[in-house]
Amino acid sequence: MIKFKGIAWSLHPLFVLIMLTSVITGYFIELLTLFAIVFVHELGHVIAARGFGWTIREVKLLPFGGVAEVEDGGSMPSREEAIVALAGPLQNVWMGMAAWTMGQLGWWSADWSEYVWRANAMIGLFNLLPILPLDGGKLMHAWFTRTFTFHQSLMWGARISLVLSGGMVLVSIVPALQAEGEGIQANLLVVGLFLLITNWTYSRHVPFLFLRFLTNRGLAASKSMARGVWALPIVVSKRHSVAAILRLFKRDSYHLIVIMEDEGSILAILPEQQLVEGFLSDGKADRAVSELFM
């Protein structure tokens, strides 16, 4: 692990395994090129995130990209998340175009030029698949948070990523089941299994991720009020549980909780901070919201 500019950079064990394999098979130069491509790809994410003032703790490099651990998960605007996610594949665009140009000008051999631009195309396009933690998965999550509640976006992101990564595993073994017997696509199988396990773990951690979102909600609410934004009301009955109301929160909105009596009169209007702080203070999510002010 190397720490640079306050960010810990490390190699995922999967990348280390591929490095060892490349040394044994004599493809070390190709591996170094792949490493450089992945590093620049991830550097694009880091520069964009730093530009928005994000705090990045660690970047773990994988053969097809990287995973960045940010400090304030869920509190950043969805627009920023989308831009940061796109910043990686955009690096592959200019690197691929540069490699192709080098070949056309005769500065690189045709074979090497083709290898580099194809590697960039493969990494860039693969990362745009709508599977977490790939860039396409993050774009999907950013879009979901603009359309659905934050809790729904976590759940649907995990479900879709599980289905697609499972499909990747199936596709990798289908050739071995056919009459021609072409064999298992080992690279696709390894990546598919990695994504499947990662998203299984992610799905199990959804409650923790939602809790982190709520914990950082106070900072996001302060920023919203400082800018002066329209509040999005959430209208509920006094018998609604705190947990049910929290799951109605949207990422890019500031909420006022309007609590209604059965006959239709307004019992109370709570700012979202009061609801979140009431939950975080004792963790009693199943109690009725009316208990917060009674």
Q: Quick: pLDDT tens for 176-204.
A: 666 565 667 777 888 888 899 999 999 99
- Listed in sequence order, the residues at least 6 apart from 268 whose beta carbon sits closer than 8 Å to its beta carbon are 259, 290, 293
Contact 131, 195 (CB under 8 A): yes
pLDDT recorded at residue 54: 85
Least confident of 7-16, 147-156, 167-176, 266-275: 7-16
For the cut 90, the answer to whether the pLDDT of residue 128 exceeds it is yes
What mean pLDDT do residues 144-166 have?
94
What mean pLDDT do residues 52-68 have?
79
Contact 210, 259 (CB under 8 A): no
- Listed in sequence order, the residues at least 6 apart from 45 whose beta carbon sits closer than 8 Å to its beta carbon are 59, 66, 68, 84, 85, 87, 88, 135
Contact 242, 287 (CB under 8 A): yes
Contact 164, 131 (CB under 8 A): yes
Distance CA 74, CA 222 (A): 15
Closest to 141 measured CA to CA, from 81, 199, 201: 81
The pair of three-digit structure tokens given for residue 6, joined into one six-digit string: 């306050």
Using alpha carbons only, give the angle 59, 61, 67 rounded to the nearest 5 degrees: 50
Strand 65-70 vs strand 56-62: parallel, antiparallel, or unpaired? antiparallel
* Per-residue pLDDT band at 229 (split at 50, 70, 90): confident
Distance CA 215, CA 161 (A): 25
Phi-psi region of 276 (alpha: psi -120 to 50; beta: other; left: phi over 0): alpha
DSSP three-state, residue 239: coil
| pLDDT, tens digit (0-9, with 9 covering 90-100), for 85-126 | 999 999 999 999 999 999 999 899 999 999 999 999 999 999
DSSP three-state, residue 149: coil
For the cut 60, the answer to whether the pLDDT of residue 246 exceeds it is yes
The pair of three-digit structure tokens given for residue 86, joined into one six-digit string: 């796109």
Instruction: Name the pTM for this structure.
Output: 0.85
pLDDT cut 70: percent of the chain above it: 83
pLDDT cut 90: percent of the chain above it: 38
Distance CA 262, CA 247 (A): 22
Peptide bond into 63 cis (omega under 30): no
Using alpha carbons only, give the angle 290, 293, 294 rounded to the nearest 5 degrees: 75
